[in-house]
Structure 1
Amino acid sequence: MTISHDITGGAGPSVLLLHSTVCDRRMWDGQVAALAEAGHRVVRADLRGYGESPAADRPYNDADDVAELLASLGIDRVALVGASGGGAVALEFAARFPERVGALGLLCTAAAGLEPGDGLQAFWGKENELLEAGDVAGATELNVTTWLGPEAGPEVRGTVRQMQQHAFEVQLAAGDVEGVEYEADPAAVTAPTLLVTGAHDFPEFTAVSDRLAGLIPGARRLHLDWAGHLPALERPEETAALLVDFLAESGWTARG
Protein backbone atom coordinates (compact mmCIF):
# COMPACT_ATOMS: atom_id res chain seq x y z
CA MET A 1 0.00 0.00 0.00
CA THR A 2 1.35 3.44 -0.91
CA ILE A 3 0.39 5.79 1.91
CA SER A 4 -1.49 8.99 1.10
CA HIS A 5 0.72 11.97 0.34
CA ASP A 6 1.01 15.29 -1.47
CA ILE A 7 3.88 17.03 -3.25
CA THR A 8 4.74 20.74 -3.41
CA GLY A 9 7.57 22.29 -5.38
CA GLY A 10 9.55 21.39 -8.45
CA ALA A 11 12.52 19.18 -9.20
CA GLY A 12 14.80 20.25 -6.32
CA PRO A 13 16.19 17.96 -3.60
CA SER A 14 13.37 16.06 -1.95
CA VAL A 15 12.25 16.52 1.65
CA LEU A 16 9.78 14.09 3.24
CA LEU A 17 7.79 15.35 6.24
CA LEU A 18 6.47 12.76 8.72
CA HIS A 19 3.87 13.85 11.24
CA SER A 20 3.42 13.34 14.96
CA THR A 21 0.94 10.63 15.94
CA VAL A 22 -1.24 13.34 17.49
CA CYS A 23 -1.66 14.81 14.02
CA ASP A 24 -1.52 14.02 10.31
CA ARG A 25 0.31 15.61 7.39
CA ARG A 26 -1.63 18.86 7.84
CA MET A 27 0.61 19.66 10.80
CA TRP A 28 3.23 20.82 8.27
CA ASP A 29 1.00 23.46 6.63
CA GLY A 30 3.19 26.19 8.10
CA GLN A 31 6.45 24.83 6.66
CA VAL A 32 5.62 23.58 3.16
CA ALA A 33 5.73 26.93 1.35
CA ALA A 34 9.05 28.00 2.91
CA LEU A 35 10.70 24.68 2.06
CA ALA A 36 9.39 24.80 -1.52
CA GLU A 37 10.53 28.41 -1.92
CA ALA A 38 14.00 27.31 -0.76
CA GLY A 39 14.07 25.00 -3.78
CA HIS A 40 12.93 21.72 -2.29
CA ARG A 41 10.48 19.17 -3.60
CA VAL A 42 8.33 18.75 -0.48
CA VAL A 43 6.50 15.49 0.13
CA ARG A 44 4.07 15.11 3.05
CA ALA A 45 2.72 11.69 3.95
CA ASP A 46 -0.02 10.35 6.22
CA LEU A 47 1.10 7.28 8.13
CA ARG A 48 -1.37 4.38 8.26
CA GLY A 49 -4.49 5.24 10.24
CA TYR A 50 -3.95 9.00 9.99
CA GLY A 51 -5.34 11.64 7.66
CA GLU A 52 -6.23 10.07 4.32
CA SER A 53 -4.31 6.81 4.80
CA PRO A 54 -6.51 3.89 5.90
CA ALA A 55 -5.61 1.88 8.95
CA ALA A 56 -3.60 -1.30 8.47
CA ASP A 57 -5.44 -4.59 8.05
CA ARG A 58 -2.30 -6.76 8.36
CA PRO A 59 1.14 -6.51 10.00
CA TYR A 60 3.14 -3.56 8.65
CA ASN A 61 6.12 -1.32 9.29
CA ASP A 62 5.99 2.46 8.86
CA ALA A 63 9.58 2.72 7.61
CA ASP A 64 8.81 0.09 4.98
CA ASP A 65 5.81 2.22 3.95
CA VAL A 66 8.17 5.19 3.58
CA ALA A 67 10.47 3.09 1.39
CA GLU A 68 7.52 2.07 -0.80
CA LEU A 69 6.35 5.68 -1.11
CA LEU A 70 9.79 6.93 -2.13
CA ALA A 71 10.14 4.12 -4.67
CA SER A 72 6.76 5.00 -6.16
CA LEU A 73 7.94 8.61 -6.56
CA GLY A 74 11.33 7.68 -7.99
CA ILE A 75 13.18 9.28 -5.07
CA ASP A 76 16.49 7.52 -4.39
CA ARG A 77 17.77 9.91 -1.72
CA VAL A 78 15.81 12.22 0.57
CA ALA A 79 15.99 14.54 3.54
CA LEU A 80 13.68 13.36 6.33
CA VAL A 81 11.96 15.59 8.86
CA GLY A 82 9.89 13.86 11.52
CA ALA A 83 7.97 14.99 14.60
CA SER A 84 7.48 12.77 17.66
CA GLY A 85 6.21 9.39 16.40
CA GLY A 86 7.02 10.44 12.84
CA GLY A 87 10.52 11.20 14.07
CA ALA A 88 10.85 7.63 15.28
CA VAL A 89 9.90 6.42 11.80
CA ALA A 90 12.40 8.80 10.18
CA LEU A 91 15.12 7.67 12.58
CA GLU A 92 14.45 4.00 11.84
CA PHE A 93 14.54 4.62 8.09
CA ALA A 94 17.80 6.60 8.36
CA ALA A 95 19.40 3.85 10.45
CA ARG A 96 18.27 1.01 8.19
CA PHE A 97 18.94 2.79 4.90
CA PRO A 98 21.66 5.38 5.68
CA GLU A 99 22.75 5.71 2.07
CA ARG A 100 19.27 6.97 1.15
CA VAL A 101 19.11 9.88 3.63
CA GLY A 102 20.85 13.19 2.96
CA ALA A 103 19.70 15.02 6.12
CA LEU A 104 17.65 14.12 9.18
CA GLY A 105 15.62 16.60 11.25
CA LEU A 106 13.94 15.21 14.38
CA LEU A 107 11.53 17.41 16.32
CA CYS A 108 10.67 16.26 19.86
CA THR A 109 11.23 12.76 18.57
CA ALA A 110 10.19 9.48 20.07
CA ALA A 111 12.51 6.50 19.75
CA ALA A 112 12.85 2.90 20.79
CA GLY A 113 13.81 2.66 24.44
CA LEU A 114 11.90 5.74 25.61
CA GLU A 115 11.41 5.31 29.37
CA PRO A 116 8.15 6.95 30.53
CA GLY A 117 8.19 8.81 33.81
CA ASP A 118 5.24 9.36 36.13
CA GLY A 119 3.73 12.18 34.06
CA LEU A 120 3.81 10.34 30.75
CA GLN A 121 2.53 7.13 32.34
CA ALA A 122 -0.34 9.08 33.91
CA PHE A 123 -1.21 10.58 30.52
CA TRP A 124 -1.23 7.17 28.81
CA GLY A 125 -3.32 5.70 31.60
CA LYS A 126 -5.92 8.47 31.40
CA GLU A 127 -6.04 8.27 27.60
CA ASN A 128 -6.65 4.50 27.72
CA GLU A 129 -9.31 4.94 30.39
CA LEU A 130 -11.21 7.47 28.28
CA LEU A 131 -10.97 5.40 25.09
CA GLU A 132 -12.09 2.22 26.86
CA ALA A 133 -15.11 4.16 28.14
CA GLY A 134 -15.91 5.25 24.57
CA ASP A 135 -15.13 8.89 25.32
CA VAL A 136 -13.27 9.76 22.11
CA ALA A 137 -13.95 13.47 22.55
CA GLY A 138 -12.48 13.39 26.05
CA ALA A 139 -9.40 11.50 24.90
CA THR A 140 -8.99 13.96 22.04
CA GLU A 141 -9.20 16.95 24.38
CA LEU A 142 -6.66 15.34 26.70
CA ASN A 143 -4.21 15.10 23.80
CA VAL A 144 -4.78 18.69 22.70
CA THR A 145 -4.19 19.92 26.24
CA THR A 146 -1.15 17.69 26.81
CA TRP A 147 0.87 18.07 23.62
CA LEU A 148 0.55 21.74 22.69
CA GLY A 149 2.71 24.32 24.42
CA PRO A 150 1.74 27.84 25.50
CA GLU A 151 2.41 29.38 22.07
CA ALA A 152 -0.51 27.48 20.47
CA GLY A 153 -3.63 29.56 19.96
CA PRO A 154 -7.29 28.50 19.56
CA GLU A 155 -7.02 27.91 15.79
CA VAL A 156 -4.06 25.56 16.18
CA ARG A 157 -5.78 23.74 19.02
CA GLY A 158 -8.84 23.30 16.83
CA THR A 159 -6.73 21.85 14.02
CA VAL A 160 -5.01 19.37 16.33
CA ARG A 161 -8.38 18.45 17.81
CA GLN A 162 -9.69 17.64 14.33
CA MET A 163 -6.62 15.59 13.35
CA GLN A 164 -6.49 13.62 16.59
CA GLN A 165 -10.19 12.82 16.72
CA HIS A 166 -10.12 11.58 13.12
CA ALA A 167 -7.16 9.32 13.90
CA PHE A 168 -8.91 7.88 16.94
CA GLU A 169 -12.06 7.16 14.95
CA VAL A 170 -10.21 5.46 12.09
CA GLN A 171 -7.99 3.38 14.33
CA LEU A 172 -10.72 2.31 16.78
CA ALA A 173 -12.92 1.19 13.89
CA ALA A 174 -10.10 -0.87 12.41
CA GLY A 175 -8.98 -2.65 15.58
CA ASP A 176 -5.46 -3.60 16.60
CA VAL A 177 -2.89 -4.78 14.05
CA GLU A 178 0.63 -5.65 15.15
CA GLY A 179 3.49 -3.67 13.75
CA VAL A 180 6.59 -5.35 12.32
CA GLU A 181 9.70 -4.31 14.25
CA TYR A 182 13.31 -4.21 13.07
CA GLU A 183 16.56 -3.61 14.92
CA ALA A 184 17.76 -0.15 13.94
CA ASP A 185 20.93 1.25 15.51
CA PRO A 186 21.01 5.09 15.62
CA ALA A 187 24.80 4.90 15.34
CA ALA A 188 24.30 3.68 11.76
CA VAL A 189 22.86 7.07 10.74
CA THR A 190 25.29 8.92 8.49
CA ALA A 191 23.17 11.94 7.55
CA PRO A 192 23.69 15.37 9.14
CA THR A 193 21.18 15.32 12.00
CA LEU A 194 19.33 18.01 13.96
CA LEU A 195 17.65 17.08 17.25
CA VAL A 196 15.09 19.67 18.41
CA THR A 197 13.38 19.65 21.82
CA GLY A 198 11.01 21.95 23.70
CA ALA A 199 11.18 23.27 27.24
CA HIS A 200 7.44 22.74 27.76
CA ASP A 201 7.47 19.12 26.58
CA PHE A 202 7.73 15.99 28.72
CA PRO A 203 11.36 15.63 29.88
CA GLU A 204 11.47 12.10 28.44
CA PHE A 205 11.67 13.53 24.92
CA THR A 206 14.59 15.76 25.85
CA ALA A 207 16.28 12.69 27.32
CA VAL A 208 15.70 10.78 24.06
CA SER A 209 17.36 13.52 22.00
CA ASP A 210 20.23 13.84 24.46
CA ARG A 211 20.81 10.09 24.16
CA LEU A 212 20.60 10.18 20.36
CA ALA A 213 23.07 13.08 20.26
CA GLY A 214 25.61 10.75 21.83
CA LEU A 215 24.90 7.97 19.35
CA ILE A 216 24.49 9.70 15.97
CA PRO A 217 27.86 10.94 14.67
CA GLY A 218 27.95 14.74 14.48
CA ALA A 219 24.33 15.26 15.55
CA ARG A 220 23.41 18.81 16.57
CA ARG A 221 21.07 19.66 19.46
CA LEU A 222 18.66 22.60 19.59
CA HIS A 223 16.52 23.22 22.69
CA LEU A 224 13.68 25.73 22.24
CA ASP A 225 12.68 27.56 25.42
CA TRP A 226 9.26 28.47 23.97
CA ALA A 227 8.23 25.08 22.56
CA GLY A 228 6.02 22.28 23.72
CA HIS A 229 5.84 18.97 21.88
CA LEU A 230 4.73 20.38 18.52
CA PRO A 231 6.87 23.41 17.61
CA ALA A 232 5.87 23.19 13.93
CA LEU A 233 2.35 24.15 14.98
CA GLU A 234 3.22 26.44 17.87
CA ARG A 235 5.55 28.78 15.94
CA PRO A 236 5.23 27.68 12.30
CA GLU A 237 7.31 30.44 10.69
CA GLU A 238 10.18 30.06 13.15
CA THR A 239 10.15 26.29 12.72
CA ALA A 240 10.11 26.67 8.94
CA ALA A 241 13.14 28.97 9.09
CA LEU A 242 15.15 26.62 11.30
CA LEU A 243 14.41 23.69 8.96
CA VAL A 244 15.37 25.68 5.85
CA ASP A 245 18.60 26.78 7.55
CA PHE A 246 19.40 23.26 8.74
CA LEU A 247 18.96 21.77 5.27
CA ALA A 248 21.13 24.50 3.74
CA GLU A 249 23.85 23.98 6.35
CA SER A 250 23.67 20.23 5.69
CA GLY A 251 24.36 20.77 2.01
CA TRP A 252 20.90 19.49 1.06
CA THR A 253 20.45 22.13 -1.61
CA ALA A 254 20.05 22.06 -5.38
CA ARG A 255 23.29 20.06 -5.40
CA GLY A 256 22.08 17.77 -2.57
Structure 2
Amino acid sequence: MAEVEVNGGVVVYELIGPPDGEVLVLTPGGRFGKDYPGVRPLAQALAEGGKRVLLWDRPNCGGSDIQLFGRSESHMRAETLGLLLDELGMDRVVAVGGSGGARDMIVFTMMYPEKVRRLAVWCIVGGTFSTMSLAGVYVIPELRAVRAGGVEAVVRLSGPAGSWSDLCAVNPRNAGRLRAIGDEEFERVMTRWLDAFIPKPNEAIPGVPDYEFAQIAVPTLIIRGGEKDHDHPKRTSLEVHALIRGSRLIEPPWPEDAWERPGRRGFDFWIHAAKPLLHFVDEVDE
Protein backbone atom coordinates (compact mmCIF):
# COMPACT_ATOMS: atom_id res chain seq x y z
CA MET A 1 0.00 0.00 0.00
CA ALA A 2 1.24 3.50 -0.84
CA GLU A 3 -0.09 7.03 -0.98
CA VAL A 4 0.33 10.16 -3.07
CA GLU A 5 -0.98 13.70 -2.74
CA VAL A 6 -3.42 14.78 -5.44
CA ASN A 7 -5.21 18.15 -5.48
CA GLY A 8 -4.18 18.81 -1.90
CA GLY A 9 -5.44 15.48 -0.57
CA VAL A 10 -3.74 12.14 0.04
CA VAL A 11 -4.93 9.16 -2.02
CA VAL A 12 -4.15 5.65 -0.76
CA TYR A 13 -3.53 3.05 -3.48
CA GLU A 14 -2.11 -0.41 -4.05
CA LEU A 15 -0.80 -2.29 -7.08
CA ILE A 16 -1.39 -6.04 -7.40
CA GLY A 17 -0.02 -8.31 -10.11
CA PRO A 18 3.03 -8.50 -12.36
CA PRO A 19 4.88 -5.20 -12.90
CA ASP A 20 4.79 -5.71 -16.67
CA GLY A 21 1.05 -6.46 -16.81
CA GLU A 22 -1.45 -4.15 -18.44
CA VAL A 23 -2.91 -1.79 -15.84
CA LEU A 24 -6.55 -2.22 -14.86
CA VAL A 25 -8.08 0.31 -12.48
CA LEU A 26 -10.66 -1.49 -10.33
CA THR A 27 -13.18 0.83 -8.67
CA PRO A 28 -15.83 -0.33 -6.18
CA GLY A 29 -19.07 1.41 -5.27
CA GLY A 30 -20.52 3.27 -2.33
CA ARG A 31 -18.17 5.27 -0.16
CA PHE A 32 -16.30 2.02 0.27
CA GLY A 33 -12.55 1.52 0.04
CA LYS A 34 -10.41 -1.04 -1.73
CA ASP A 35 -10.66 -3.49 1.17
CA TYR A 36 -14.46 -3.73 1.11
CA PRO A 37 -15.57 -7.39 0.83
CA GLY A 38 -15.42 -8.74 -2.71
CA VAL A 39 -13.07 -6.13 -4.19
CA ARG A 40 -9.70 -7.74 -3.45
CA PRO A 41 -10.68 -11.26 -4.59
CA LEU A 42 -11.61 -9.88 -8.00
CA ALA A 43 -8.38 -7.89 -8.14
CA GLN A 44 -6.36 -11.00 -7.28
CA ALA A 45 -8.14 -13.05 -9.94
CA LEU A 46 -7.36 -10.38 -12.54
CA ALA A 47 -3.75 -10.29 -11.35
CA GLU A 48 -3.52 -14.07 -11.73
CA GLY A 49 -4.61 -13.48 -15.32
CA GLY A 50 -1.48 -11.40 -15.86
CA LYS A 51 -2.89 -7.93 -15.19
CA ARG A 52 -1.48 -5.15 -13.03
CA VAL A 53 -4.46 -4.04 -10.93
CA LEU A 54 -4.59 -0.58 -9.39
CA LEU A 55 -6.76 -0.55 -6.28
CA TRP A 56 -7.40 2.88 -4.86
CA ASP A 57 -9.32 4.48 -2.05
CA ARG A 58 -11.20 7.23 -3.81
CA PRO A 59 -11.60 10.56 -1.98
CA ASN A 60 -14.13 10.04 0.83
CA CYS A 61 -13.37 6.32 0.90
CA GLY A 62 -11.14 4.08 3.00
CA GLY A 63 -7.88 5.63 4.15
CA SER A 64 -7.77 8.50 1.65
CA ASP A 65 -8.39 12.13 2.53
CA ILE A 66 -11.82 13.69 2.44
CA GLN A 67 -12.27 15.98 -0.57
CA LEU A 68 -15.22 18.16 -1.57
CA PHE A 69 -15.11 19.78 -5.00
CA GLY A 70 -16.41 19.28 -8.51
CA ARG A 71 -19.70 18.99 -10.32
CA SER A 72 -20.55 15.73 -8.55
CA GLU A 73 -18.73 13.26 -6.33
CA SER A 74 -18.11 11.05 -9.37
CA HIS A 75 -16.63 13.96 -11.32
CA MET A 76 -14.37 14.75 -8.37
CA ARG A 77 -13.18 11.16 -8.23
CA ALA A 78 -12.63 11.02 -11.98
CA GLU A 79 -10.43 14.11 -11.81
CA THR A 80 -8.54 12.63 -8.88
CA LEU A 81 -7.90 9.40 -10.80
CA GLY A 82 -6.63 11.29 -13.82
CA LEU A 83 -4.10 13.15 -11.68
CA LEU A 84 -3.21 9.97 -9.75
CA LEU A 85 -2.33 8.21 -13.00
CA ASP A 86 -0.15 11.16 -13.98
CA GLU A 87 1.68 10.91 -10.64
CA LEU A 88 2.21 7.16 -11.16
CA GLY A 89 3.40 7.62 -14.75
CA MET A 90 0.59 5.53 -16.21
CA ASP A 91 -0.48 6.69 -19.66
CA ARG A 92 -3.37 4.38 -20.54
CA VAL A 93 -5.42 1.96 -18.47
CA VAL A 94 -8.44 -0.28 -18.64
CA ALA A 95 -11.16 1.35 -16.53
CA VAL A 96 -13.17 -1.24 -14.61
CA GLY A 97 -15.87 -0.66 -12.00
CA GLY A 98 -19.15 -1.71 -10.50
CA SER A 99 -22.07 0.07 -8.81
CA GLY A 100 -20.93 3.62 -7.95
CA GLY A 101 -17.55 2.63 -9.37
CA ALA A 102 -19.22 2.03 -12.73
CA ARG A 103 -20.47 5.61 -12.74
CA ASP A 104 -17.03 6.87 -11.66
CA MET A 105 -15.33 4.97 -14.50
CA ILE A 106 -17.86 6.14 -17.08
CA VAL A 107 -17.27 9.75 -16.05
CA PHE A 108 -13.50 9.17 -15.99
CA THR A 109 -13.62 7.86 -19.57
CA MET A 110 -15.58 10.93 -20.63
CA MET A 111 -13.17 13.32 -18.93
CA TYR A 112 -9.92 11.57 -19.89
CA PRO A 113 -10.55 9.63 -23.12
CA GLU A 114 -6.84 9.64 -23.92
CA LYS A 115 -6.11 7.68 -20.73
CA VAL A 116 -8.56 4.80 -21.36
CA ARG A 117 -7.98 1.85 -23.68
CA ARG A 118 -11.08 -0.09 -22.68
CA LEU A 119 -14.02 0.34 -20.32
CA ALA A 120 -15.93 -2.38 -18.43
CA VAL A 121 -18.82 -1.72 -16.03
CA TRP A 122 -21.56 -3.57 -14.16
CA CYS A 123 -24.19 -3.06 -11.45
CA ILE A 124 -24.94 0.40 -12.90
CA VAL A 125 -27.17 2.64 -10.80
CA GLY A 126 -30.08 4.37 -12.54
CA GLY A 127 -33.82 4.84 -12.57
CA THR A 128 -36.05 6.67 -10.12
CA PHE A 129 -35.92 4.27 -7.17
CA SER A 130 -32.18 3.66 -7.34
CA THR A 131 -31.25 7.30 -7.90
CA MET A 132 -33.49 8.65 -5.15
CA SER A 133 -32.20 5.95 -2.81
CA LEU A 134 -28.67 7.23 -3.37
CA ALA A 135 -29.74 10.75 -2.52
CA GLY A 136 -31.02 9.37 0.77
CA VAL A 137 -27.72 7.62 1.40
CA TYR A 138 -25.05 10.02 0.14
CA VAL A 139 -26.41 13.55 0.49
CA ILE A 140 -29.64 14.04 2.44
CA PRO A 141 -28.24 12.79 5.78
CA GLU A 142 -25.20 15.05 5.32
CA LEU A 143 -27.35 18.09 4.64
CA ARG A 144 -29.55 17.35 7.65
CA ALA A 145 -26.48 16.92 9.83
CA VAL A 146 -24.60 20.04 8.75
CA ARG A 147 -27.73 22.19 8.99
CA ALA A 148 -28.51 20.92 12.47
CA GLY A 149 -25.03 20.74 13.99
CA GLY A 150 -22.44 21.96 11.50
CA VAL A 151 -19.46 19.88 10.40
CA GLU A 152 -19.05 18.63 13.97
CA ALA A 153 -22.24 16.65 13.39
CA VAL A 154 -20.83 15.39 10.09
CA VAL A 155 -17.68 14.16 11.85
CA ARG A 156 -19.94 11.95 13.99
CA LEU A 157 -22.23 10.87 11.13
CA SER A 158 -22.53 7.18 10.31
CA GLY A 159 -24.25 5.63 7.30
CA PRO A 160 -24.90 2.37 5.44
CA ALA A 161 -22.66 3.01 2.42
CA GLY A 162 -19.52 4.42 3.98
CA SER A 163 -19.39 6.48 7.17
CA TRP A 164 -17.90 9.94 7.70
CA SER A 165 -17.21 8.96 11.31
CA ASP A 166 -15.33 5.88 10.08
CA LEU A 167 -13.35 8.01 7.62
CA CYS A 168 -12.31 10.24 10.52
CA ALA A 169 -11.42 7.24 12.69
CA VAL A 170 -9.33 5.50 10.01
CA ASN A 171 -7.62 8.70 8.87
CA PRO A 172 -7.08 11.18 11.71
CA ARG A 173 -6.51 14.02 9.22
CA ASN A 174 -10.10 13.86 8.03
CA ALA A 175 -11.80 15.46 11.04
CA GLY A 176 -9.51 18.45 10.68
CA ARG A 177 -10.11 18.57 6.93
CA LEU A 178 -13.86 18.69 7.51
CA ARG A 179 -13.47 21.48 10.04
CA ALA A 180 -11.27 23.40 7.60
CA ILE A 181 -13.94 23.05 4.90
CA GLY A 182 -16.44 24.60 7.30
CA ASP A 183 -20.20 24.49 7.62
CA GLU A 184 -21.09 26.78 4.71
CA GLU A 185 -18.79 25.19 2.12
CA PHE A 186 -19.76 21.66 3.13
CA GLU A 187 -23.44 22.52 2.74
CA ARG A 188 -22.76 24.31 -0.56
CA VAL A 189 -20.96 21.30 -2.08
CA MET A 190 -23.52 18.78 -0.82
CA THR A 191 -26.32 20.89 -2.27
CA ARG A 192 -24.55 20.83 -5.63
CA TRP A 193 -23.91 17.10 -5.42
CA LEU A 194 -27.56 16.52 -4.58
CA ASP A 195 -28.48 17.68 -8.08
CA ALA A 196 -26.88 14.55 -9.55
CA PHE A 197 -29.39 12.39 -7.68
CA ILE A 198 -32.51 14.23 -8.78
CA PRO A 199 -34.00 11.91 -11.46
CA LYS A 200 -34.06 13.54 -14.88
CA PRO A 201 -35.52 12.20 -18.13
CA ASN A 202 -32.29 12.85 -20.03
CA GLU A 203 -29.96 11.07 -17.59
CA ALA A 204 -29.71 7.28 -17.71
CA ILE A 205 -27.24 7.44 -14.81
CA PRO A 206 -27.15 10.06 -12.03
CA GLY A 207 -25.48 13.35 -12.90
CA VAL A 208 -24.52 12.43 -16.47
CA PRO A 209 -26.62 13.84 -19.35
CA ASP A 210 -27.25 11.27 -22.05
CA TYR A 211 -25.54 13.34 -24.76
CA GLU A 212 -22.21 13.06 -22.93
CA PHE A 213 -22.08 9.33 -23.67
CA ALA A 214 -21.15 10.24 -27.25
CA GLN A 215 -17.70 11.09 -25.86
CA ILE A 216 -17.01 7.41 -25.15
CA ALA A 217 -15.34 5.87 -28.19
CA VAL A 218 -13.33 3.02 -26.62
CA PRO A 219 -14.37 -0.66 -26.65
CA THR A 220 -16.86 -1.04 -23.82
CA LEU A 221 -18.19 -4.08 -21.99
CA ILE A 222 -21.41 -3.85 -19.98
CA ILE A 223 -22.60 -6.66 -17.73
CA ARG A 224 -26.39 -6.60 -17.73
CA GLY A 225 -28.16 -5.67 -14.51
CA GLY A 226 -30.00 -8.44 -12.69
CA GLU A 227 -33.73 -9.03 -13.06
CA LYS A 228 -34.15 -8.77 -9.29
CA ASP A 229 -31.65 -5.98 -8.67
CA HIS A 230 -33.63 -2.83 -7.91
CA ASP A 231 -30.54 -0.83 -6.97
CA HIS A 232 -28.73 -1.60 -10.25
CA PRO A 233 -31.64 -2.24 -12.62
CA LYS A 234 -31.52 -4.22 -15.83
CA ARG A 235 -33.14 -1.31 -17.65
CA THR A 236 -30.25 1.03 -16.85
CA SER A 237 -27.66 -1.37 -18.26
CA LEU A 238 -29.70 -1.58 -21.46
CA GLU A 239 -29.92 2.21 -21.67
CA VAL A 240 -26.18 2.65 -21.19
CA HIS A 241 -25.58 -0.02 -23.83
CA ALA A 242 -27.79 1.95 -26.23
CA LEU A 243 -25.95 5.20 -25.44
CA ILE A 244 -22.38 3.92 -25.93
CA ARG A 245 -21.90 3.24 -29.60
CA GLY A 246 -20.42 -0.17 -30.31
CA SER A 247 -20.64 -1.33 -26.70
CA ARG A 248 -21.14 -5.00 -25.90
CA LEU A 249 -23.78 -6.22 -23.44
CA ILE A 250 -23.34 -9.64 -21.84
CA GLU A 251 -25.43 -11.68 -19.44
CA PRO A 252 -24.45 -11.46 -15.76
CA PRO A 253 -22.03 -14.21 -14.65
CA TRP A 254 -23.83 -14.36 -11.29
CA PRO A 255 -27.44 -15.14 -10.31
CA GLU A 256 -30.12 -12.63 -11.29
CA ASP A 257 -30.77 -11.90 -7.61
CA ALA A 258 -27.13 -11.86 -6.47
CA TRP A 259 -27.43 -8.35 -5.01
CA GLU A 260 -30.60 -9.20 -3.09
CA ARG A 261 -29.56 -12.59 -1.72
CA PRO A 262 -29.59 -13.09 2.07
CA GLY A 263 -26.11 -13.48 3.48
CA ARG A 264 -24.41 -11.48 0.73
CA ARG A 265 -21.19 -9.87 1.95
CA GLY A 266 -20.49 -6.66 0.09
CA PHE A 267 -19.49 -7.31 -3.50
CA ASP A 268 -18.58 -10.96 -2.92
CA PHE A 269 -20.23 -12.13 -6.17
CA TRP A 270 -18.03 -9.85 -8.30
CA ILE A 271 -15.34 -12.56 -8.42
CA HIS A 272 -17.42 -14.20 -11.17
CA ALA A 273 -16.68 -11.24 -13.45
CA ALA A 274 -12.98 -12.12 -13.65
CA LYS A 275 -13.23 -14.51 -16.60
CA PRO A 276 -15.31 -12.28 -18.93
CA LEU A 277 -13.22 -9.25 -17.94
CA LEU A 278 -9.95 -11.00 -18.78
CA HIS A 279 -11.36 -12.22 -22.08
CA PHE A 280 -12.50 -8.69 -22.94
CA VAL A 281 -9.21 -7.04 -21.99
CA ASP A 282 -7.13 -9.54 -23.96
CA GLU A 283 -9.03 -9.02 -27.20
CA VAL A 284 -6.98 -7.45 -29.96
CA ASP A 285 -7.92 -3.83 -30.66
CA GLU A 286 -9.18 -3.29 -34.19
Aligned counterpart for 1:242 among listed residues 262, 267, 276: 276
The yes-or-no answer on 1:88 pairing with 2:122 is no
Deviation at 1:219, TM superposition (A): 1.0
Q: Distance in 2 between matches of 1:86 and 1:43?
A: 13
Aligned counterpart for 2:259 among listed residues 214, 228, 231: 228
> TM-score, length-normalised on structure 1?
0.72
For the 8 Å contact 2:26–2:43, the answer to whether it is kept is no
Aligned counterpart for 2:13 among listed residues 2, 5, 21: 5
Aligned counterpart for 2:34 among listed residues 13, 25, 28: 25
Go from structure 1 to structure 2 and tell me whether the alpha carbon gap of 1:123 and 1:40 turns closer, same or farther (over 3 Å shift).
closer
For the 8 Å contact 1:103–1:191, the answer to whether it is kept is yes
Aligned counterpart for 2:212 among listed residues 169, 185, 188: 185
2:259 maps to amino acid: G
The yes-or-no answer on 1:100 pairing with 2:131 is no
Can you give the 5+ residue segments of structure 2 that lack an aligned partner in the other structure? 146-152, 169-173, 194-206
Moved more, 64-73 or 196-205: 196-205
Q: Distance in 2 between matches of 1:220 and 1:244?
A: 15
Can you give the 5+ residue segments of structure 1 that lack an aligned partner in the other structure? 144-163
Q: Distance in 1 between matches of 2:119 and 2:280?
A: 9
* 3-state secondary structure, aligned to 1:11: coil
For the 8 Å contact 1:88–1:109, the answer to whether it is kept is yes
Moved more, 93-102 or 128-137: 128-137
Larger radius of gyration: 2
Q: Distance in 1 between matches of 2:265 and 2:49?
A: 20
Q: Deviations over 1:197-254 (max 9, x none)?
A: 23332166433221111111211123432432899823243122232222223x38xx
Percent of matched pairs sharing the same residue:
23
Aligned counterpart for 1:208 among listed residues 222, 229, 236: 236
Moved more, 219-228 or 40-49: 219-228
> TM-score, length-normalised on structure 2?
0.65
* 3-state secondary structure, aligned to 1:90: helix
Moved more, 127-136 or 194-203: 127-136
Go from structure 1 to structure 2 and tell me whether the alpha carbon gap of 1:75 and 1:201 turns closer, same or farther (over 3 Å shift).
same
Please report the RMSD computed on the Cα atoms of aligned residues, expressed in angstroms.
3.5
Q: Which residue of 2 aligns with 1:46?
A: 57
Stretches of 4+ aligned residues off by more than 3 angstroms: 57-60, 119-137, 179-184, 229-232
Q: Distance in 2 between matches of 1:239 and 1:107?
A: 9
* 3-state secondary structure, aligned to 2:90: coil
Aligned counterpart for 1:55 among listed residues 66, 77, 88: 66
For the 8 Å contact 2:229–2:257, the answer to whether it is kept is no
* 3-state secondary structure, aligned to 1:170: helix
Q: Which residue of 2 aligns with 1:116?
A: 128
Q: Distance in 1 between matches of 2:217 and 2:265?
A: 25
Q: Distance in 1 between matches of 2:239 and 2:69?
A: 33
Q: Distance in 1 between matches of 2:228 and 2:247?
A: 22
Q: Distance in 1 between matches of 2:134 and 2:115?
A: 36
Q: Which residue of 2 aligns with 1:170?
A: 167
